[in-house]
Amino acid sequence: MTSSTWSSDCGLALRGAGVDAETVARFDTQGSGGNPLPAVFSPRESGHCLGLANPAAGYCAAFCCKEAFFKAVDRPFSPHECELLLDPAAERHSVLLGPEVREECGVEAAEAHVAFSEGECVVVVHVFSRSPEDR
């Protein structure tokens, strides 16, 4: 490697990466019938998950995304400001970031790679800033 700065295909600098894994069954909504953790999942995120064929997969991926994002930025943030709306057919997702988390964490964009295997969900999040100096 000749450079310490990685870039995304949108021209932003890679600020950090995080990974998290969780068991999908832990997000089973059959008991509650709704958002299992309202402090964690936003109404938009929860509504999206409940519309999926497997809501637990959506909640699990969204949770892993928030945990992986936290590992990448190493700063506290409001979980509702970092949303993942799972598309079961897609591997790569844009993470929806609110203005507060962008400002406080110095992040311009984030993308999540989601994979499921044997009841487990693994999410890798790449976090990008506008310039390497924002790191």
Partner 1 sequence: MTRELSQETERDIREMVVGFFADECGVDRARIADDTNIIEELEGDSLMFLALLERVRKRYGIGVELKTLARHLMKKPASTVGQVVHLTLAIVRHGDDIVNVEL
Binding site for partner 1 (CB under 8 A): 22, 26, 36-40, 63, 67, 70, 76-79
| Rounded-to-integer distance, Cα 43 and Cα 69, Å | 19
**Which pairing describes strands 92-94 and 109-117: parallel, antiparallel, or unpaired?**
antiparallel
For partner 1, the closer CB: 7 or 32: 32
CB of 99 to partner 1, least distance (A): 14
For partner 1, the closer CB: 20 or 108: 20
| Rounded-to-integer distance, Cα 93 and Cα 46, Å | 17
DSSP letter for each residue of 75-88: S---GGGEE----T
Nearest to 110 by CA among 59, 56, 73: 73
For partner 1, the closer CB: 38 or 88: 38
CB of 7 to partner 1, least distance (A): 29
CB of 27 to partner 1, least distance (A): 9
